[in-house]
Structure 1
Amino acid sequence: MADKTAAKRETHVAVAVIIRDGRVLIARRPKHVHQGGLLEFPGGKVEPGETVQRALVREVAEETGLKVPESSLEPVIGIRHDYGDKCVFLDVWQTTSAKGEAEGREGQPLAWMLPMDMRDQDFPAANRPIIRALRLPSLLAITGDIEKVEQGCEQLASALKRWSPPLVVVRAPLLNGGDYRRLVASATRVCAREGAGLIVHGGPSVFQDAPEAAGLHLPWREASRLSSRPIPGHAWLGVSCHDAGQIGHAVRLGADYVTFGPVKATATHPDAVSIGWPAFRESVSMAPLPVFGLGGLGPGDVLRARQEGGQGVAGIRFWWSEN
């Protein structure tokens, strides 16, 4: 009998996200290959003894004629995916420094696409977290605990003028439902003026009361009660996670991202035990979705978070003032 384990051995694939003027280079897979006809990012199998960076330089040159400086490559995300007939590890790196004009040297059509125009159904399932990673920022701003609607909106407006984050999670666990709805209605207008998307925080009913919100962030206590995605696919779904098992549950819910930590000691949760970067890296390496490091982190930790396989950093204190 054939060795099924050997037949499903993981294939290490280097994937290049080549960015030029905000657009990403995309190719269409030939009809006769695995996942044929779908769109994909350039790349290919990492050969024995080859680094992923060297594989990307080689594959991009062979497929598109572009020259990628190896030193320009930065990590994006790592994705493990089981297609049933094939297991792959997509090792995704990006560059904005590719030189030359792209051409499909293997006969494949090429196009430059905005991340916002990429549709899940046009890509292999394993590629879909890459789309999420490209659309999400490297910094996810979270408000401190807002206790009063008017004061909270003033704090939000002031913080947005200082930092201008693309996405803001608005937390107000001490407000009742009616006051939180009022807060979100006002905060949405504040965010719109500053070009930020507002993500509500709480259970699914919170999002149902705020259809104008950009998404929903589930605290773990809310996520643990669910068995399927509670909001439409066009909105962001995030989950607060504290161990690998919780990340796995978030994946099963269809989350678009998770926050994970605390990575370091944090003043907002002084009793929480920090996990450190090694544990962060280990858990993120098995997570097929973008992961924001959380806890005692700020903008200066974004590069480290990305080097450890994360999307970036989420936090409160680096941008939010309680005064």
Structure 2
Amino acid sequence: MNAVSAEPASAAASDLPAVHVVAAALVDADGRVLLAQRPDGKHLAGYWEFPGGKVEPGETPLQALRREIHEEIGVRVASAEPLIRIPWRYAAKRIVLDVYRVRAFDGVPHSCEGQPLKWVPASALDPSEMPEADHPVIHALVLPRHYLITPQPDADEDAFLARLDAALARGVRLVQLRAKASDDAALRRLAPACLSRVRAAGGQLLINSRSDLVDEFDLDGVHVTAAQLAALDARPVGAKRWFAASCHGPADLRRAQALGADFVVLGSVAQTASHPQQIPLGWSEFAALCDEAAVPVYALGGLVRDDLDAALAAGAQGIAGISAFW
């Protein structure tokens, strides 16, 4: 893959046509991902990256992926699914990186160009070893397709926890505890109770707004509102915690990326009963915004589980919501 170090984009770089690049997240039966090391003498020598390369004139991205993967690691891609598209700007160039998840391939990967290869569990990929443009790919590989946002808990906490148990039993693995109206005492009871259930199911729990509770209860991260995002001047949690944000348009997306958000939710995509006067984005505008986002994006607002395919086709990581999963 033609990787370069991340630097602030110059005006000249912004005016240049983007170089179209493809890469494969080749996944084996054990959930490990194949990485290739950039050779000595090349830019970013020693960094590990997802194998791939440039799309040549007249090629589709999939054709380029199949050609590059066969030339670089000697296997034939049997099937590939889009994982994430990343626009990336550098001091002297722009790229658009289309990354595919490849689970089915023929042959045994081996170095055809002398570069070292290694298999790494997706959960153990180390951003410090990889080019910055690949960091969103790491997140996309481990984030699930569904993101449950809980409704505001009422006084019946046992019933709330029972509903959470039911959602986890249906396969939800990423949960946002949204309890902004709860008092501090109730939230301090509820957060550890939710965490124990989510962790027992193999999932991860973020809390809405309250970054101050993340380390205290060893939560997996924080999800901030668009208003909080606008007021932040730094990432609110450490690098090993999820930092997610709600976005409603391009300014929010740019702000989230500037602050190092790991993923975002974007909406409302469709009309919602809670905000009947709000004009929804629709899938076309959602897709256009996804194309400009260098982070995984969940579609939000008026969606049901059956909207997942439409969301993926528009470039989303998946769908987020309350009623769709609660």
Q: TM-score, normalised by structure 1?
A: 0.92
1:114 aligns with 2:114: no
Kindly provide the amino acid, as one letter, of the partner of residue 101 in structure 1. V
- Equivalent-residue separation in structure 1 for 2:158 and 2:277 (angstroms): 30
Percent identity, aligned pairs only?
35
Greater mean alpha carbon deviation, residues 137-146 or residues 296-305:
296-305
Which residue of structure 2 aligns with residue 53 of structure 1? Answer: 62
What is the count of residue pairs matched by the alignment?
A: 314
Kindly provide the amino acid, as one letter, of the partner of residue 191 in structure 1. V
Kindly provide the amino acid, as one letter, of the partner of residue 76 in structure 1. L
Which residue of structure 1 aligns with residue 38 of structure 2? Answer: 29
Contact 1:164 1:195 (C-alpha < 8 Å) held by counterparts: no
Kindly provide the amino acid, as one letter, of the partner of residue 221 in structure 1. A
Q: State the Cα distance separating 1:243 from its structure 2 match.
A: 0.5
State which of 42, 50, 65 in structure 2 corresponds to 1:41: 50
Which residue of structure 2 aligns with residue 246 of structure 1? Answer: 252
Q: State the Cα distance separating 1:203 from its structure 2 match.
A: 3.7
1:180 aligns with 2:187: yes
Deviation track 1:203-252 (CA, whole Å, cap 9, x = no partner) reads 42243543x11111111122221011010110111101110110111111
Contact 1:293 1:305 (C-alpha < 8 Å) held by counterparts: yes
1:273 aligns with 2:264: no
SS at match of 1:97: strand
* Residues 59-138 of structure 1: pairs in structure 2 closer than 5 A: 59-69=68-78, 72-138=79-145
Which residue of structure 1 aligns with residue 289 of structure 2? Answer: 283
User: 4+ runs of 1 displaced by more than 6 Å?
Assistant: none
1:264 aligns with 2:261: no
Which residue of structure 2 aligns with residue 13 of structure 1? Answer: 21
Contact 1:181 1:209 (C-alpha < 8 Å) held by counterparts: no
Q: State the Cα distance separating 1:294 from its structure 2 match.
A: 0.5
State which of 199, 202, 219 in structure 2 corresponds to 1:195: 202
- Equivalent-residue separation in structure 2 for 1:102 and 1:281 (angstroms): 34
Unaligned runs of 5+ in 2: 1-10
Question: RMSD between aligned alpha carbons?
Answer: 1.8
Which residue of structure 2 aligns with residue 225 of structure 1? Answer: 231
Contact 2:14 2:93 (C-alpha < 8 Å) held by counterparts: no
- Equivalent-residue separation in structure 2 for 1:315 and 1:245 (angstroms): 22
SS at match of 1:258: strand
Distance 1:191 1:5, change over 3 A: closer
Q: TM-score, normalised by structure 2?
A: 0.91
Q: State the Cα distance separating 1:266 from its structure 2 match.
A: 2.3
Distance 1:239 1:6, change over 3 A: closer
- Equivalent-residue separation in structure 1 for 2:43 and 2:304 (angstroms): 41
1:236 aligns with 2:245: no
- Equivalent-residue separation in structure 1 for 2:88 and 2:316 (angstroms): 17
Q: State the Cα distance separating 1:8 from its structure 2 match.
A: 4.8
- Equivalent-residue separation in structure 1 for 2:184 and 2:215 (angstroms): 12
SS at match of 2:154: coil
Unaligned runs of 5+ in 1: none
